């Protein structure tokens, strides 16, 4: 009985820690395509990003909110799934989209200063006809970076 109680306490603690570290989810729209974006607005969340995940649902992604506009770069160290990243300006306009391969350290950068980066499964943008110059709706609701 004590082992069961200890196991349940351990599970409850793990769930509490996981919930504490969980990122908020923001709904975005690219045309009529709905995106459920986890929001990485803290230094820690931006550093970890999608590392060590083995899969991501098709409509899911991660929005990186940067403290200032800059020619931010992304890489794929410890990231197990292939991704596409859209660099986005402060108004929600897509600047450029780059494809990234798992577990590589190649830099993929915004062509001009960006405020956000949105990572989705590889080719998500291309398969839906989403291109630079298009605007994402809902991005104005993103939390301020910390």
Q: What percent of the chain has pLDDT over 90?
A: 83
**Planar angle of CA 123, 115, 129, nearest 5 degrees:** 25
Provide mean pLDDT across the span 114-125: 98
Burial call 111-126: b when 16+ CB within 10 Å, e when fewer:
eeebbbbbbbbbebbe
Provide mean pLDDT across the span 20-42: 91
* Band (13; pLDDT cuts 50, 70, 90): very low
Q: Is the pLDDT of residue 50 over 90?
A: yes
Provide mean pLDDT across the span 76-88: 96
Backbone angles phi, psi at 12, to 5 degrees: -65, -40
Range of weakest confidence among 8-12, 28-32, 77-81, 137-141: 8-12
Q: Check: CB of residue 97 under 8 Å from CB of residue 125.
A: yes
**pTM metric for this prediction:** 0.84
Burial of 141 (0-12, 13-18, 19+ CB in 10 A): exposed
Rg (alpha carbons) of the chain, rounded to whole number: 17
**Planar angle of CA 116, 119, 125, nearest 5 degrees:** 105
Sequence-distant (≥ 6) Cβ neighbours of residue 102 within 8 angstroms:
76, 79, 80, 81, 82
Q: Which pLDDT score is estimated for 146?
A: 85
Q: What percent of the chain has pLDDT over 70?
A: 86
* Band (21; pLDDT cuts 50, 70, 90): low
Distance, in Å, from the CA atom of 72 to the CA atom of 109, rounded to the nearest integer, reads 6
Q: Which pLDDT score is estimated for 22?
A: 81
Provide mean pLDDT across the span 44-52: 93
Q: Is the pLDDT of residue 127 over 70?
A: yes
């Amino acid at each position: 009985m004590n082992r069961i109680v200890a196991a349940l306490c351990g599970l409850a603690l793990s769930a509490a820690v996981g919930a504490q570290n969980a990122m908020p989810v923001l709904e975005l729209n690219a045309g009529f395509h709905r995106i459920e974006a986890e929001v990485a607005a803290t230094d820690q969340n931006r550093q970890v990003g999608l590392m060590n995940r083995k899969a991501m649902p098709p409509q899911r992604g991660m929005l990186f909110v940067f403290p200032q506009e800059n020619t931010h770069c992304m890489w794929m160290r410890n990231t197990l799934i292939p991704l596409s990243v859209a660099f986005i300006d402060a108004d929600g306009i897509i600047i450029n989209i780059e494809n990234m391969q798992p577990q590589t350290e190649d830099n993929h950068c915004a062509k001009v200063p960006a405020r956000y980066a949105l990572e989705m499964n590889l080719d998500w943008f291309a398969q839906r006809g989403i291109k630079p110059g298009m605007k994402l709706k809902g991005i104005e609701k993103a939390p301020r970076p910390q």
